[in-house]
Structure formats: structure tokens, C-alpha cells
Structure 1
Amino acid sequence: MVRHRLFGVLGLLLLGVQGQSDNLGLSNGYLTINTANFNARIVKDAQVLASLTPAGSSFDFLPFDKLSVRANNGQYHWGDITFRYRQQGSNNWIDGNSATARRPVTAVTNGALAASNLAPTLGTSPLNITREWINVSGDLGLRFTIVNSGTSTIELGSLGFPAEFNSIFTNRDASTIQRLCSLSDPYIGMHAGYIRANPISGTGAALVVTPLSGTDTPFEAYRNLAEQSYSSTSYGSQVFEGLYEWQVLTKAWAEREWAGITPWNPASSRTLAPGQSLQFGFRFSLAKDGVRGIDAAVSGTGTPVAVGVPGYIIPRGSPAQLFLQASSSVSSIASDPSGALVVKEVSTGSYTVTPSSTAWGRVRLTVKYADGKTQTIHYHVTKASTDVLSNLGTFLTTKQWFDDASDPFGRANSVMTYDYEAGAIVKQDARVWIAGLSDEGGTGAYLAAMMKQAIQPNAAEVAKLETFVDKVLWGTIQTSDYGVRKSIFYYDKAAQPNYPYLTNANWGSWTSWSRSSAYTVDRAYNYVHVAAAYWSMYRVARAYPSLVKSHNWEWYLLHAHNTIIRATQRDVGYNRVGLMGETVFGEILADLTREGKTSEASALTTAMRSRATQWNSEAVPYGSEMAWDSTGQDVLGYMPTVPHWGWDGNARRYWDNIYGGKLQRIERQIHHYGSGLNALVLLSAFRSDPSDSYLLQVGYAGTSGPLSNINQDGGTATVVITAQASSAWP
């Protein structure tokens, strides 16, 4: 296993439990359906999937143990269906949903493992829908037959199939989560699309859900499903992200809720004449070799597989490779936008993919196969990597440079948080740290500017950042004894009676710290940012001494060291857990040793060894302030690889927009900062075992992820610490 060395143990969120109704009919029991590869149970009355375990294993990919609190109307399971239709000539879409008002379905005997007609639970509708659970060469299959039983032609504009997995962490401790839960990720790739799910532990068999052969079931979109947030599971919260559905048709959503949004795949609909039928379905298969065997498991179902090398975030001027494996020959490959990617076949199944000199942003390749299947592969093209960094440094030290000397909070001469949508520095926010140059939401801008110098120093930028160090970092953000304040912006009318605080901000929130609260030095996470900032300037001063004027390399290195040591003191909380970005501590230790700073290196070694000894004794080590994150998780269970730049190597996170985003909501985030941090672990493990190319594949994807967060002009996204939010996008 490859464990995350940056974060910490999953906390236990204690929530009350609410009673719920048994609309599924659990009291009437279950039907057991077994295949060579699976043992499954479906609810007898509703005939939705309740449990799915690999044959011979007790690990359940579904939350069977939580089913009693997930049996109400409006709660989704595998086997449910949602749709929108309209009569030909009408503009109004009509909704249908098997979970809205459940009634026992009508059992059908037709040779399937289990079959039912959904009419009782769908109510009045011209669509007659039969659902079958079938054996597919030892795998489990799910098939729907939809018949237009009306007298007029209808257009089916939305068709979704809810996908449920055991990603409920509510009321579970860290060890229980490791033992019971799984994470799932989509590849929204049309007929080549699939959902992958794997145990959080990163070990054991993984699950893939692919289109069922003999049906036309493209993966067109992945829609977040709204459910009521009962306290028993806390749906749509930090401890339960919520569920999504595999959408085959999306035109009705594109016309309404998604109007003005560019979807991952073009929206489509289907027309059914009276008496006409359509079939859709899914195949559940095991990757018995775990996450490394997912591609082979997908290919084994006859589903096309794509592998991009080095990945799907590619810079201009750097041709990539694409390998396609399919049972049918490729008939065409097209780029959207046209010409953004030039694809040339090198040999059968092997292609070069070259971005044009003007390409930037999302690019979709559409591969058509001779057997009628369509596959979409999703790329993100950036400028050349050196240009991306150069543009970032320029933007941060100009557009995001705050130099108002009258600022009463002492923030002048700083790189501050920026609202890219508004084109303005964020000077105020009720979450005071965002405008306060500390914590993750407020420190990211200046830290990015400083770390950039360690890789690509620029004299003008270094000069500004030295001013920041002398006028803001040392003495304002950081106290004379190396304590690091939680925020230097605060909401305190007594301390700042004349400051024009925004009248429409939620200043009554717990996030609106007073001066005394903001100035506390008790949060260890903040010390990492400051230590890293000093370290970056040390690297510049050591390699390019002529660029640094205020202090020499030794001053910066010792300030980095002293900041870490201060973080270990008893008045600083969370200093016994893993801290985001503390990989830099190891770099500082290496530099102290190389520079002959023996006593400092010894002190730092002693402090870090104490923490490591503690973690080594814990079943799920490292700790965190949050109820869960990648903290303590096995990175192989946490970081997927799929042919989509947004999910490939994406560190799973969906709540940090609440604490650092402009749009404060729960939603899946694309390339949260964890992508790059987790990648360090994977790439380190790959260096220890270069034969494991899977580690390199996911590690590269994670480390390239942050490049997608930088706009063409070097500005970063409007959300403060993430990038582009995905669940709001189709």
C-alpha cells in the first residue's frame, strides 16, 4: 500500500440519527442473486440493488449496513431510473423518477435472475419500463427495456441511472471507514465510459461498471443527485458527498438547468414512436488485481480502453501519445475545437496527439469505431510549462499585488487573494482568513508567488517578495517569537471603527474572527506556509545571490527552521497530525544538513521523529482537523486514473469551496490542491519501485493537475483554493 504522508487520521463526526420510512419495503425481505463473480441482494419489493460483494468476500461495495436509513422516498439506489420526456411538438418536459413515490414493483418471470415492471412506482406515464437483473458470463448485469406504450411519438430528453456506492463516512471512525467504504469515479466517455469503484484501503478487488453489450448505453454525463440530508447519513456534507447518476441522454437538462454551460459531451435525445422500444444496461465486473487491473477489466467487457501518455493535461509544443485498445477498428478521430489537437496514427492503436500553437483549455477527442461505438477522450491544453509559470508569476505580482499603505491591517506590499471573475483583489470576506493572508484560503496566492521563484526566479518579482517578507510576513503575519497568526484581517468594529466593512457580508458567522481571535497563533497548518515561503527564498538566495538584497540565504533558512520548531510548541494545535504541504519540512532538513547547520538539523529531526513514531503506532495515521479528507487514506484508493483531465489524478475533495471558494457549496472539485500533494507520495513510491508504472501514471496526473488551475493570462480561478468545480458542470 502507498499511504499518504502529508495528512492525518479521519475524525469521527457525531451526528444524531433520525428515523425514516421503509418505502423500499425492507420488512418484506430480499432476493439473493448470485453469479460466478458476485453475491448480490436486491430488495424484494423494490427490486433495487441492496448489496454487492465479490464472490468469497465480505467487502460490500454498497452501503447495505446503512440501508435502513436509506429506504425513504427520494433516496437512490442501483436499479432506479430517472427520465424526462415530452410529446412530439411540445416544449414542456415531464419528469419521471422511480424513487419519488415508491410502490412495490410487479415481479416478472422471464428467465432473468430477477425482473420487474416499474409501472406501480412510476405512476402514469406513456413509458412502460421493465428492469432485469441478469447473469453476464459470471458478472452481474442490469438491463432496462423502455417501450412507448402511448399513441403518439415522444422525445426522451433525459435518461439517468443512479449509481450508489458505500461512500458514507458519517458516524464511522477511521478504521471502520478503511474497512467498509469505497470511492467511485466516472469516465464520462460515451460508449467507452465506465464507473470505477475501489476500497478506500487501496487493496482488494476493484469494481467497474460498463455499458452492457447489446444495448446502446453511452456515458453522456454524470449528474449529482439531490437527496434530503437526514442526519443519520448527512447527505451532501463533508462526510457524505452524495450520489450521482450515469446519464445516457441530457438534452432536457441542457435546455433548462445547464443552459449556457458547455457539457463534457454534446447533449442528445431519442425519439420513440408508438410501440417502439429501447434497451439500456450495465455490467458489473471485478478487477481482481485491484486498481492496477481496472483497464484490463474494462477491456474484458468489450469496452474500448484509452491510455494517454504522459496524461491528459498537455502543454503546447509537447506531443503526447495515445493508445487505444478496442475490438473494432477506428474509423475516425476528431478534435473539438477543430484543429486544437492533431492526431496521427503511428501504428495500429498507437497515435501521437499534438496541440496546435494556439490551443488552450478543454479539448475533446471523439473516436468513432467501425462497430458504431463512440468514445470521447478529454484533454486540457496549457501553454508551455515555462510560459505558464512565467505568466503566473507576472499576474500574482501585478494584478494581485496589494500596495495600499493606508490599509489598517498592515497588508500593503502583499500578493493577495484575487477574484478572477470580478477582476479584483479580495480585500474583505466574512471568512476573514481569505483576505487575511493566512490559512489555506488566504495564503495560497503569496505562497504560489514565492514557490514559483524557487523554480523560475525573476528579479522584479523577487524584489517585491522581499518587500512582502520584510513588511508583512515577518512582524505582521508572524510574531517576533515565530508564531504565525491565523489572519491579519479581522472583523472588529471596536478595533477598526472607521473601516468600511461590507454591509452585505455575513459578519455574524463564526468565521468572522475578532482581532484577538485572528491574532492567535494556535493553528499548526499555517506554519507550513510560512516555512515554505522562507525556504523558497533561501533557494533563490543560494542559487542566485545577486537577486536577493534584504537578507542572505542563511537568514531565510534559519527562519524556515525556527518557524517549524515554533509550530511544535504546546500552544499550537494540530501539531501532532499531518500538515498539508509539510513535505517541505523534509527539504528544509536536507538543506540544514547540507549547509552544516548541525544543531538545527538535530532539533528538527528530534521534533519530526516524535510525530513519526506516534503515527507508526496508529492504524490510520497522520490525523486531521477535518472529519475526513485524503488524511490517513491510502492514496491508491483515493487517486483515480481515467481518460479525462478533470478526474485523472484528481484528489477527491468536495467541501473546501465552503471554506475558501467564491461559490460556497458542496460539489466535486477538479484538481484540488490535494492532487499535487498526493502525487508526491505516488511519485516517491514509483522511484522506490520503477516497475510499477501505475504509480507513475497516477502520480503524473496529480502533479500536472495544478496547471489546469491557471488561466491563459496567468490568473488563477475565481474559487480561492480549488479550480473548476465539476458537479455543477454536466
Structure 2
Amino acid sequence: MRFKNIVLVLLIFASGNAIAQNPWDNLAKRPSTLGLDQGFLNVSSSAFQIKLLKSSQTIAAMKPLTDTAFNFSPEKFLKMRSSDGAYQLGDLNLRIKGASGEWKKYSTATKRGMVVPLPVSGKVLAAAILNNSLPSDIPVLIERYWEQEDGVLILRFKIKNKSAADIEIGSLGIPLIFNNIMHEESLDDAHARNVFYDPYIGADAGYLQATRLSGKGPALLVLPLGKTPFEAYSPLLDDPTPRGTTFEGFYEWMPLTKANVETDWKDAQPWNTPSTLILKAGKSHEYGLKFILSPDIRSIEKTLVAAKRPVAVGIPGYVVAQDVDAKLFLNYKSAVESISVYPEGALTIKKLPALKSGIKAYQINGKTWGRATLTIIYKDGLKQTVHYKVIKPEANLVGDFGNFLTTKQWYTNANDPFKRAPSVITYDYDTKKQVTEDSRAWIAGLSDEGGAGSWLGAIMKQLVQPNAEELVKMQQFVNQTMWGKIQVSADSSKYGVRKSLFYYEPDSMPAGTYSKNVNYKSWAAWPRKEADNLGRSYNYPHVAAAHWVLYRSARFHTGLVTEKNWKWYLESAYYTSMAMVKIAPYYAQFGQMEGSVFLYILKDLKKEGFVEMAANLEAAMKKRADHWRTLNYPFGSEMPWDSTGQEEVYMWSDYFKYRDKAEVTLNAILGYMPTVPHWGYNGSARRYWDFLYGGKLSRVERQLHHYGSGLNAIPVLNEFRSKPDDLYILRVGYGGLLGSVANITEDGFGPAAFHAWPSTLKIDALSGDYGSNFYGYAVNTSTYLVNDNTYGW
């Protein structure tokens, strides 16, 4: 099966005419200005086989010599992306303050012109003056050099002030163009050809890692050349390549950001202190990047150390509860000159004895709730930032979460025309109001991840911290609203799960039911027939989990669940699981979000001696697992590529001892779930389109600790429990586990995810699909005591 890009913004918000347009066809029709007809320049370093366009001297192909069948660059789309505005690796963006005092933008990608080649010798592979691709009024001369030094591929820019006056460069960005375009790729081809990349926005110590979807090596590391700090990581939103489910977009490495912070980022708190460059008349300044390879993902930190780069390792990670003693280890040749914290007092740092290896050790304690940045200055002048999130003690955090859900989000309108009461309903943290209507029916409809998220979170909270008052409400919801309304309670479709209780049918509803302020001209504003559809398998695990939690609450606690007995809930969990494969078979062929709940239900059926039910459920799940075993990468879903089915695929593959498929799945997870010294990216499983489906600020954007973090932490930590010497997967998995609760606010609101764009850098205001994330926390929360060979206890 090959998949085409779905441009979700158009699908959700645009008119029928716009939907009919194919943005990829439109891209291909744009005039080609990159000079493809001028041919290519083939060069190589000791690690890469490089193809440069003669006309622009930008990268066309970048292949590791260890695997020349693989290409880090999107060469397949070079012709389609050869028009003005399409960024290439080797381009440069900058903003310069003009005489008027305003910042003016310049980019070598905006309007292509032939570069002027410069003579090459020694370590230089290719060099050129770029000004033919820049407006004539730009006050700088820009030269670009591709070089090899000590086996390392280097991209170097020399910027000279050619004017008679000093100038200020307040923004500088180096576009990072690697092959994350999955348009019209099969799942097999995408895992073989494509990469995802994530930043460590760590100032002078920053780097970018590009990892293959398969999780196989080599991995590409992009490092700073000289003083080229990784100050910010910004999306290239003006690139014409259509962003959607098969293309997240490109980004740029930014060493200067003052101009951005003063203008389009003025409402956000940046990760790092913004900087600027005053370039004297006639003077030059250089910035650049290095490209090296790590043999595999797990060896990235070893590769960094070998490259004499500072490496920070946080244990258990960078989400620090206020009652936890965390540790930070720094591995760098230079001694530490100073360590500071912003905001002041948010963290305390205590120096510990260095390890035998010479690695520096510190104890970190979180004091003030919220983001905190640790800035380390080394004696050689290098500046490193490590980004933390301080949270409440987990018991307090979970308690606040449950209280918020069952008070602020508890919906009791007995006259609701859609019969959604009593329930825990979607919430808007900006307006501090419950969301009772939305153009996306499911958001207000108590189903789908985006609508079920809140009640699922409230139910799962009872698994780890049961509360008698909250469980009274959960029973009311399950027995009055979920059973018989969300879930069919009679007839041949019994145990089927509806897509939404809310729907848009103005002709059949009383006047005033729908607000004029909501745009219902969208495919997502489902009529009742679509809302009643039982065919979306992904809705079944939410309901099964609710039954299962009430079973456990009734079985293992006295007096907390009284409306029905434990047997009814366990049987209902079983019948819901079986209904998924019977009533919603198409999507049931894929791994489900929270699909691990079926395994937990199976184990409890066996413990309770429900032999026939257990046998039936195991047989149904084995049939699915057998199908997955026939596929190279069984990670399909409603979307062409996804990061949420891996949870269930791994768990059943592991259960049925299909270790080959479990290993493939784990490696794929490690390919999109990094560990870096930044709370937002550490253990943050890749997701970039669900703000469209479950967020308030709807756009294609890297989501930090979306529910993929909590769900993918389940298989990763399961693997660690069978391989307790593998600290790497413990760090990744625990990063996802704590990341799943990192975005909960101080008063207990659980948001869909955190917005990664530097213009925003805050949580989304909608509760949306957060419940799936908390599910991952609830079934996986755990403590590990490890005596590691490198880091000790």
C-alpha cells in the first residue's frame, strides 16, 4: 500500500474546491530555478558520498559510505522541490537591521541565482559566493565552503560586512534539509529511506541527530563549527513543500535569534537567551556546521565524546519532581567554570564526587514548578544549556489531575440534547470553560482520542490513586453515559463503540443547539449517521480500559465500586475487546492506541479462571499478531505512518514470543523516541499532526510529549525489565513515562501536548487526546534501582 500526503489543514478547514487541489501537483508545476540542467559536482569525505548542484552548490545527495544505498537527503524530490523558496542543505537565512531600525529578512532560497564558484584547494571540496541569490541591497558578502578536515564534513559560511557602516545581524538560520518526506512511500520504503531528526537546543553544546525510521544505523549528527551555538530550532514555514501527515516540515539551526525574539517570537519564552552580532564595517565572521556519523543510535553519546563534544546525561531524566534527587553527569575535557539557573532558584545544584572515569557529577533538585534552564560555562569558554521541567511530587500531581477532571471538567447538564451527562468532557484552559461543541464532532462527543481523552484520564487515574468521591462519578459516567450511549448495550451490535455522541444536524435539532461562532462547514462536523458509526476500532480500547479499571477497583478495594460487581466489569472488558475485532475489523488489523489493555485484560481473565473467555481473546489477538509477523513494518493506522500502534504490536509480539517482530518494533520506536538533555524532546515519541485532531491551536507541528510518549514508554520499559543492563532504553522509556505527565499544569489540567515552535513554546489549551498519554503513565508507572557500570547507583 502506498500512501499520499494528506494535507490535514485543507481537509479540516478548507472548502470543497480547495480539497480537490493536490498541493504536491502544484509544487511540481512551479518553475524550476535551481539549475538542475547545469549538472552535478561529485565530492566525498571519509564518511560521505556527496552530490552538489553546480548551479547552487547545495546538497543533492548525501550518502554514508558505510551504506551508499541510503541517502540522508530528499534527492527523490529534488526536481519537484527545485523552485524558488524550496530550501536546500547549504542555504542561509538572516535578518539585518536596516537604517530605518527595522529588521529585514534575506534568504539564499527566495530567488535563485547562479553562485560564483571560488578556487578550491587543500581541505576545500567546493566554494562559492552566494550573493547572486540575494537582493542587491544586502550589506554583506557571503561565501560558503564545503570542506573536509580530519575526516569530518564541514559546511562553513563567511559573512563579510561590505558596507561602510557597522551592521547588526539579529537572526541567522542554517536550514537542515534531510529526507523526512514520506509522500507516496510505502511503509517498507519509508522505513528504509526516511529519517526523523530531533535537536538538542543546548547552545554551544547543541547538536542535531537524524535517525532512520527503522532504527538502524548509521545515524547522522550535526555539530557546531567553532562558535555556532544551537540557540533555537525553527520551522521553515515558507518552504512550499506541503506539510501534512507524510511531511512534518523542515527546520533551521539558529545561532542568532534576537530579531526573532523581538518580532514573531515576542509572545514566547525562548529556550535560550537570544543573541545578536554587531559586524564592524569591513570585518568578517564565520558560522558553520559539522556532519559526522554514529554507527547506531545507541552510540550517539559515545560518538559525541569521541568528537570532543560535551555530553550531559540526566538521571532519571530532565523532568524532575520536587521530592526527587536527580543526578546530572557531564562528560567534557574542560573543567566547569560556573553553573547558573534560570529562573533563579528553580533548581538547586550540589556538586558530587567525580566518577572514576572523570565524569563530573551533580545532584539536581527541583524547587519551583515550571521550566528551568541550567547554564554551564566551561573553563574553555564553551556554554552548555540543559533544559528541565520541574513538576510537583507525583502523588500530588496525580491527585490534582484527578480533582481537575472530576470538578472543572465534570459535565452535569441533564438537558443536554446529545445525552452526554454525566461525564468528564473536553476543556479549554484558555477560556476556563467546558467544550460542548466543536467543528470536530469528536472533540465534544466523548469518543475518539480527542473526545474520550478526558474521561479516559479520569478513569485511569483511579488505577494508580483511587479516590472514593471520584469513583462515585466514574461509576455514574460508565453506567449511565458510556454504557448505553457511547457503547451500544443491546441488540446485535452490543458492545460496539460509537464515534461521537455529538453531531451536526441543524435540521433535526432545536433552534439554538449550535453556535454561529463555530465553523461547521467541515468534513469533521459529522452528521448523526457518521457519529453513530461503530467501525473505528481505535475507540474500543478507551472503553475496554474503563471497564477494566472499574473491575480492578471493585476487585482489589473494598467499598469503592458499588453499582455493579467486579465480574460484570471484567466481562464487559472482555466483550468490548472481542467486539473490536468483530464489529470494527478493518482498523483492528493495526496496532491500537492503548492496545496493551487487551493483554492486561487477558491476564486478569486467566487469573480469575475465566478459561473460555481467555482462550477466545488470546486466539483473536494471536490472529492479529500472526498477521503483523508477516509484515516488515506493521505500523499502519488511519495515517500513512504512525507512532502509536507500535505499543500494541510490541506487547503481543513479545507475549507470543515473536522476538523478531518485537525487536523490529523496538528499534523503530528508538528511531523516533530520542534521549537528549531537554525535557521536551527526551523520550518524546514523534507526532506532528494531532494538534489538528485534538488541539486548539491546530497546525502540523512537532508535538512535545503528545500521547505517543506515554504509550511508547510501555514497550520500551517492558524491554528493559527483560534486559536490566540496558541503561539506554531505561533512559528513553523513563523519559517518555515522566514526559507523559510533564505538561500537566500546576492546578492539574492535562493538555493535549506542548507546542515546540519557538513562536509559541507553551501547552495547547485543549485537553483533547491527553487521556491516552495518562493511560501510558498509569499502567507503566514504576521505580527502578540500577547500579550502572558507568554511573553507579
Match of residue 212, structure 2, among 199, 217, 222: 199
Pick closer, same or farther for the CA change 1:571–1:61 going to 2, 3 Å. Answer: closer
Tell which deviates more after alignment, 474-483 or 10-19. Answer: 10-19
Aligned residue in 2 for 1:413 = 422
Q: What code does the residue aligned with 1:275 have?
A: G
Aligned residue in 2 for 1:120 = 132
Structure 2 counterparts to residues 648-687 of structure 1, below 5 A? 648-687=682-721
Instruction: Tell me by how many angstroms 1:570 deviates.
Output: 4.6
Match of residue 241, structure 1, among 243, 248, 261: 248
Instruction: Tell me by how many angstroms 1:356 deviates.
Output: 4.5
- In 1, Cα distance between the equivalents of 2:223 and 2:738? 28
Match of residue 225, structure 1, among 229, 236, 239: 236
Tell which deviates more after alignment, 421-430 or 514-523. Answer: 514-523
Q: What code does the residue aligned with 1:693 have?
A: L
- 1:263 aligns to what SS in structure 2? coil
Equivalent pairs, count: 710
Instruction: Tell me by how many angstroms 1:567 deviates.
Output: 1.0
Tell which deviates more after alignment, 425-434 or 631-640. Answer: 631-640
Contact persistence 2:352–2:363 (CA under 8 A): no
1:416-467 deviations in whole A, cap 9, x for unaligned? 1100111010011011111110001000100100011011000000011111
Instruction: Tell me by how many angstroms 1:12 deviates.
Output: 4.9
Match of residue 263, structure 1, among 252, 265, 270: 270
Instruction: Tell me by how many angstroms 1:352 deviates.
Output: 3.1
Instruction: Tell me by how many angstroms 1:698 deviates.
Output: 0.6
Gaps of 5+ in 2: 7-21, 647-664, 762-793
Contact persistence 2:704–2:756 (CA under 8 A): yes
Structure 2 counterparts to residues 46-125 of structure 1, below 5 A? 46-58=56-68, 59-87=70-98, 90-111=100-121, 112-124=124-136, 125=138
Tell which deviates more after alignment, 132-141 or 616-625. Answer: 616-625
- In 2, Cα distance between the equivalents of 1:375 and 1:385? 29
Instruction: Tell me by how many angstroms 1:302 deviates.
Output: 2.3
- In 2, Cα distance between the equivalents of 1:499 and 1:523? 30
Aligned residue in 2 for 1:647 = 681
Instruction: Tell me by how many angstroms 1:260 deviates.
Output: 2.3
Q: How high is the sequence identity, in percent, across the aligned residues?
A: 43
Pick closer, same or farther for the CA change 1:725–1:220 going to 2, 3 Å. Answer: closer
Structure 2 counterparts to residues 67-466 of structure 1, below 5 A? 67-87=78-98, 90-111=100-121, 112-124=124-136, 125-212=138-225, 215-229=226-240, 235-288=242-295, 290-348=296-354, 349-357=359-367, 359-466=368-475
Instruction: Tell me by how many angstroms 1:382 deviates.
Output: 0.3
Instruction: Tell me by how many angstroms 1:140 deviates.
Output: 0.5
Residue 722 (str. 1) matches residue 753 (str. 2): yes
Pick closer, same or farther for the CA change 1:577–1:701 going to 2, 3 Å. Answer: same
1:160-216 deviations in whole A, cap 9, x for unaligned? 10001100000111111011111110110000000001111101211100011xx21
Instruction: Tell me by how many angstroms 1:413 deviates.
Output: 1.3
Pick closer, same or farther for the CA change 1:513–1:25 going to 2, 3 Å. Answer: same
Tell which deviates more after alignment, 615-624 or 534-543. Answer: 615-624
Q: What code does the residue aligned with 2:58 have?
A: V
Pick closer, same or farther for the CA change 1:572–1:34 going to 2, 3 Å. Answer: closer
Contact persistence 2:334–2:380 (CA under 8 A): yes
Normalising by structure 2, what TM-score?
Answer: 0.87
Match of residue 477, structure 1, among 458, 481, 486: 486
Instruction: Tell me by how many angstroms 1:354 deviates.
Output: 3.2
Q: What code does the residue aligned with 2:345 have?
A: G
Instruction: Tell me by how many angstroms 1:71 deviates.
Output: 1.2
Contact persistence 2:270–2:758 (CA under 8 A): no
Aligned residue in 2 for 1:540 = 553
Instruction: Tell me by how many angstroms 1:237 deviates.
Output: 1.2
Instruction: Tell me by how many angstroms 1:707 deviates.
Output: 1.1
- 1:513 aligns to what SS in structure 2? coil
Q: What code does the residue aligned with 2:132 have?
A: P
1:344-385 deviations in whole A, cap 9, x for unaligned? 11123433343344x111100000011111100000010000
Aligned residue in 1 for 2:782 = none
- In 1, Cα distance between the equivalents of 2:66 and 2:528? 59
Instruction: Tell me by how many angstroms 1:666 deviates.
Output: 1.1
Residue 527 (str. 1) matches residue 544 (str. 2): no
Tell which deviates more after alignment, 501-510 or 445-454. Answer: 501-510
Instruction: Tell me by how many angstroms 1:623 deviates.
Output: 2.6
Tell which deviates more after alignment, 115-124 or 175-184. Answer: 115-124
- In 1, Cα distance between the equivalents of 2:282 and 2:731? 48
Normalising by structure 1, what TM-score?
Answer: 0.95
Q: What code does the residue aligned with 2:340 have?
A: A
Q: What code does the residue aligned with 2:396 have?
A: D
Aligned residue in 2 for 1:579 = 592
Contact persistence 1:308–1:320 (CA under 8 A): yes
Contact persistence 1:183–1:198 (CA under 8 A): yes
Structure 2 counterparts to residues 556-595 of structure 1, below 5 A? 556-570=569-583, 572-595=585-608
Instruction: Tell me by how many angstroms 1:516 deviates.
Output: 2.1
Pick closer, same or farther for the CA change 1:57–1:679 going to 2, 3 Å. Answer: same
- In 2, Cα distance between the equivalents of 1:137 and 1:564? 58
Instruction: Tell me by how many angstroms 1:65 deviates.
Output: 1.8
Tell which deviates more after alignment, 669-678 or 11-20. Answer: 11-20
Q: 1 or 2, which has the higher helix percentage?
A: 2
- 1:21 aligns to what SS in structure 2? coil
Pick closer, same or farther for the CA change 1:729–1:298 going to 2, 3 Å. Answer: farther
Q: What code does the residue aligned with 2:85 have?
A: G
- In 2, Cα distance between the equivalents of 1:116 and 1:46? 8
- In 1, Cα distance between the equivalents of 2:387 and 2:581? 44
Instruction: Tell me by how many angstroms 1:24 deviates.
Output: 1.6
1:456-515 deviations in whole A, cap 9, x for unaligned? 000000011111112101111111111111111111123322343110212121111112
- 1:454 aligns to what SS in structure 2? helix
- 1:152 aligns to what SS in structure 2? coil
- In 1, Cα distance between the equivalents of 2:167 and 2:273? 20
- 1:546 aligns to what SS in structure 2? coil
- In 1, Cα distance between the equivalents of 2:4 and 2:108? 34
Q: What code does the residue aligned with 2:318 have?
A: Y
Contact persistence 1:521–1:572 (CA under 8 A): no
- In 2, Cα distance between the equivalents of 1:93 and 1:491? 47
Contact persistence 1:11–1:627 (CA under 8 A): yes
Instruction: Tell me by how many angstroms 1:722 deviates.
Output: 2.8
Residue 40 (str. 1) matches residue 71 (str. 2): no
- In 1, Cα distance between the equivalents of 2:249 and 2:47? 27
Instruction: Tell me by how many angstroms 1:659 deviates.
Output: 1.0
Instruction: Tell me by how many angstroms 1:703 deviates.
Output: 1.1
Pick closer, same or farther for the CA change 1:303–1:474 going to 2, 3 Å. Answer: same
- 2:718 aligns to what SS in structure 1? helix
Kindly indicate whether structure 1 or structure 2 has the higher relative contact order, using CA contacts under 8 Å at least 6 residues apart. 1
Aligned residue in 2 for 1:555 = 568
- In 2, Cα distance between the equivalents of 1:345 and 1:202? 36
Instruction: Tell me by how many angstroms 1:90 deviates.
Output: 4.3
Aligned residue in 2 for 1:6 = none
Contact persistence 2:235–2:757 (CA under 8 A): no
- In 1, Cα distance between the equivalents of 2:696 and 2:109? 33
- In 2, Cα distance between the equivalents of 1:79 and 1:622? 34
- In 1, Cα distance between the equivalents of 2:621 and 2:409? 35
- 1:285 aligns to what SS in structure 2? strand
- 1:569 aligns to what SS in structure 2? helix
